[in-house]
Amino acid sequence: MSVITTRREGEVLVVTSNNPPVNALGQAVRAGLADAMAEAAGDDAIQAVVICCEGRTFFAGADITEFGKPPVGPSLPEVIDAIEASAKPVVAAIHGTALGGGLEVALGCHYRIAVASARLGLPEVKLGILPGAGGTQRLPRVVGVAEALPMIVTGNPIPAAQAGKIGLVDKLVAEDGLAESGVAFARSVIGKADHPVSSKRTDKIGEIPSDSDFFDEFRKTQMRRLKGFEAPEACIEAVKAAIDLPYEEGVKKERELFGKLVTGTQSKALRHVFFAERAAAKIDGIPADTPVLPVKKVGILGAGTMGGGIAMNFLTAGYAVTILEREQEALDRGVSIIRKNYERSAAKGRFTADQVERAMGLLTPTLDMNDLADCDLVIEAVFENMDVKKDVFRKLDGIVKPGAILASNTSYLNVDEMAAETKRPGSVLGLHFFSPANVMRLLEIVRAAKTEPAVLKTAMDLAKKIGKVAVVSGVCFGFIGNRMLSPRQRAAQAMLLQGAKPWDVDKALTDFGMPMGPFQMSDLAGLDLGWDKANSKSETIRDVLCERDRRGQKTGKGFYDYDENRRPSPSKEVEAIIDEFAAKSGLEQRVFSQDEIRERLLFPMINEGAKILEEGMAQRASDIDTVWINGYGWPAYTGGPMFWADTIGLDKVVAGLKAHAAASGAEPDICKLLEDKAAKGETFN
């Protein structure tokens, strides 16, 4: 059956797309739409057209899988121009998400109606491009620059009700019977003298001149979020063109900018990120018909930094949560932090007061482990100590109902050992959240040796329900993310002894696009994590810093000095300590370029990533990229560590690793998989 079908409702032609899963505007859809418009034009009995979609959504955009392939006509701009040029009014009937090219189709229509649950947006910027089918020119003409600019530059969709307020949607209609509502709307406009044509509208476009402060002010508010990305600035340029140029020239400008971006590395990287996130949801060895176990009630052990944040995820998503602590004081503190976090979010407009109370109403604090008996899932977030964890698993196994899932939030420890303490190892796995757990999108799901497929699938399903991006890892020390962090930290420490300063090392990574460098990270986490105060003998730089109470941000000083607003500055005291250790080491002192620092820090991570792949701890290289982008703020526009390695060339990575090892007088420990791929000219992705 054709992906586009037409049927007549009296004088209205209803054009329906059926291209699962998201009605992407692939070639067949575009050709079908063009044919349908020709059919409408050629039939005198037809006086109006409705365009709608079957399935879960209106057109979700261009078909991203076609990018980078030779184009086959008709192009999307041609199809949209044909819709707009129709003498007979065309109505877009929107449900689900009208995104990217999908919204551009709707903008080409003369009218737009939508169900209240629909969302509309131009998310192209998130793929490193800009709307390339007239969106940057039509949207500002329809809703004005003040509304259009944030939609185009941030890529965030807006709900139908807001779209109604700003004139993007003409009418909100009932969720059921959308096509019929479209036909009724179409009938109501037949016979009108003029139908609005987006590209010809001039009523709103003049409201903000292109040289006004508005653009600079807007840039300022978005700067932190958009740093390093190329597409947002191109989006701004295109919107300015919509103000300054006639439509036809504005469109030319848009196309020129689109062409440049779509062939660039950032767009390739961001497309990789899009598909990587979706690929991560597919797990080897899990048959499609594997059941998802019911989870209604969640138990959490430990109301510390992680336990509280983990609880918030489930509370926000509507799950009943019982949280357990050892002492009343810790329990009260944990619960009050949860409430404070919700209230802070409410003050920022992210929650209503009602939502806060609803979430808090779902929380049951307790000191009695027996209260976890009827939980469907229990996650422990107690101290990172194997004996403590084992004890917890043994006890939980005796108390929590049979079949319930028992999970550990451990950062590094062996989940198989914890599972072995129970009589239900098949129901045990790791759920490794990232701090702050209510904010960070990543969830590493640790598949233990005996974890049953249904348990794994249930965890994947839950991750989606609480808004996380889940990646499956095997059992190894530190799993995917923290395991790759270790060689980076080691490389950073080694460079200190050869003349690099912490702030130079950090800068190389923040310039690359990471939110912080290794020493800033240490200061944030606390230098005394794992430091043995009783046995500290000034043997390492870290020992000395801790001994002098330079234990990081929490003591006001660590590798950096901090002012009362936690702003860091380089420390003379630290420099002197480092110099002393460097002198003792006998290593040659030299100046490192920022490029070299970056390679010395990041190449060992790639090497470790390759080992993770070789050992089967990650299923695919793109899973590693997904971990680093969502858990550690690796710049998405580079595609993640493994994709970045591909773009610079694996042979260059191997050569770099060898050179760095030689410079430090060490044997290079290069992963065979990496070396083989480099030799064959292959890539990870």
Per DSSP, 62 falls in state B
Helix (H, G, I), strand (E, B) or coil at 654: helix
Is position 97 an interface residue for ligand 3HC (rule: CB under 6 A)? yes
Site for ligand 3HC in 121-180 (CB under 6 A): 123-124, 127, 131-133, 135
φ and ψ at 308, to 5 degrees?
Answer: -65, -45
Nearest distance from residue 84's CB to ligand NAI, in Å? 52
Exposure on the CB side of residue 198, measured as CA atoms within 13 A: 34
Stretch that binds ligand NAI, among 117-125, 304-312, 459-467, 490-498 (CB under 6 A): 304-312
Q: Which does 305 bind (CB under 5 to 8 A by kind): ligand NAI, ligand 3HC, none?
A: ligand NAI
Nearest distance from residue 139's CB to ligand 3HC, in Å? 11
Residue indicated by tokens 């209240």: 116
Q: Which does 324 bind (CB under 5 to 8 A by kind): ligand 3HC, ligand NAI, none?
A: ligand NAI
Q: Which does 330 bind (CB under 5 to 8 A by kind): ligand 3HC, ligand NAI, none?
A: ligand NAI
Is position 382 an interface residue for ligand NAI (rule: CB under 6 A)? yes
Per-residue contact string for residues 267-306; x = within reach of ligand 3HC by CB under 6 A: --------x--x----------------------------
Nearest distance from residue 388's CB to ligand NAI, in Å? 6
Is position 392 an interface residue for ligand NAI (rule: CB under 6 A)? yes
Is position 61 an interface residue for ligand 3HC (rule: CB under 6 A)? yes
Q: Which does 127 bind (CB under 5 to 8 A by kind): ligand NAI, ligand 3HC, none?
A: ligand 3HC
Number of residues located near ligand 3HC, criterion CB under 6 A: 25
Q: Which does 381 bind (CB under 5 to 8 A by kind): ligand 3HC, ligand NAI, none?
A: ligand NAI
Active site residue 124: yes
d(CA 646, CA 640): 10
Stretch that binds ligand NAI, among 149-157, 197-205, 300-308, 586-594 (CB under 6 A): 300-308
Stretch that binds ligand NAI, among 215-223, 278-286, 431-439, 626-634 (CB under 6 A): 431-439
b/e 538-568 (16+ beta carbons within 10 angstroms → b)? eeebbbbbbeeebbbbebebbbbbbeeeeeb
Is position 184 an interface residue for ligand 3HC (rule: CB under 6 A)? no
Helix (H) or strand (E) holding 97, with range, is strand 97-99
Stretch that binds ligand NAI, among 139-147, 416-424, 430-438, 453-461 (CB under 6 A): 430-438
Is position 411 an interface residue for ligand NAI (rule: CB under 6 A)? yes
Number of residues located near ligand NAI, criterion CB under 6 A: 23
Site for ligand NAI in 357-376 (CB under 6 A): none
Beta-ladder partners of 429:
407
φ and ψ at 407, to 5 degrees?
Answer: -130, 150
365/425 with CB nearer ligand NAI: 365
Is position 62 an interface residue for ligand 3HC (rule: CB under 6 A)? yes
Residue of 84, 124, 147, 675 marked active site: 124
Burial (0-12, 13-18, 19+ Cβ within 10 Å), 445: buried
301/377 with CB nearer ligand NAI: 301
d(CA 522, CA 520): 5
φ and ψ at 473, to 5 degrees?
Answer: -125, 150
Is position 304 an interface residue for ligand NAI (rule: CB under 6 A)? yes
21/530 with CB nearer ligand 3HC: 21
382/650 with CB nearer ligand NAI: 382
Is position 388 an interface residue for ligand NAI (rule: CB under 6 A)? yes
Phi-psi region of 279 (alpha: psi -120 to 50; beta: other; left: phi over 0): alpha
b/e 408-433 (16+ beta carbons within 10 angstroms → b)? bbbbebbbbebbebbebbbbbbbbbb
- Are the C-beta atoms of residues 115 and 95 closer than 8 Å to each other? yes
Stretch that binds ligand NAI, among 93-101, 338-346, 379-387, 676-684 (CB under 6 A): 379-387
Taking only Cα atoms into account, the Rg of the chain, rounded to an integer number of angstroms, comes to 28
d(CA 71, CA 307): 51
**4-9 vs 377-380, strand pairing mode:** unpaired
Binds ligand NAI (CB under 6 A): choice among 180, 343, 384, 416: 384
Helix (H, G, I), strand (E, B) or coil at 652: helix
CA distances from 496 to 116, 406, 578 (A): 58, 42, 7
Nearest partner of 522 among 500, 498, 555, 548, judged by Cα: 555
- Which residues are CB-contacts of 587 (< 8 A; sequence separation ≥ 6)? 497, 498, 664
Per-residue contact string for residues 317-356; x = within reach of ligand NAI by CB under 6 A: -------xxx---x--------------------------
Q: What share of the chain is helix, strand, coil (3-state, %, to 5)?
A: 50, 15, 35
Burial (0-12, 13-18, 19+ Cβ within 10 Å), 366: middle
Q: Which does 335 bind (CB under 5 to 8 A by kind): ligand 3HC, ligand NAI, none?
A: none
Stretch that binds ligand 3HC, among 18-26, 506-514, 515-523, 629-637 (CB under 6 A): 18-26
Stretch that binds ligand 3HC, among 2-10, 53-61, 87-95, 488-496 (CB under 6 A): 53-61
Phi-psi region of 638 (alpha: psi -120 to 50; beta: other; left: phi over 0): alpha
Q: Which does 477 bind (CB under 5 to 8 A by kind): ligand 3HC, ligand NAI, none?
A: none
Residue of 66, 78, 104, 452 marked active site: 104
Q: Which does 636 bind (CB under 5 to 8 A by kind): ligand 3HC, ligand NAI, none?
A: none
Per DSSP, 176 falls in state S
Q: Which does 388 bind (CB under 5 to 8 A by kind): ligand 3HC, ligand NAI, none?
A: ligand NAI
101/558 with CB nearer ligand NAI: 558
- Are the C-beta atoms of residues 76 and 25 closer than 8 Å to each other? yes
DSSP string covering 17-44:
E--TTTT-B-HHHHHHHHHHHHHHHT-T
Tokens of 365: 């604090």
d(CA 338, CA 304): 10
Is position 305 an interface residue for ligand NAI (rule: CB under 6 A)? yes
Per CB under 6 A, residues contacting ligand NAI are 301-307, 324-326, 330, 381-384, 388, 392, 409-411, 433-435
| Catalytic residue positions, numbered | 104, 124
Q: Which residues bind ligand 3HC (CB under 6 A)?
A: 21-22, 24, 57, 60-65, 76, 97, 99-101, 104, 123-124, 127, 131-133, 135, 275, 278
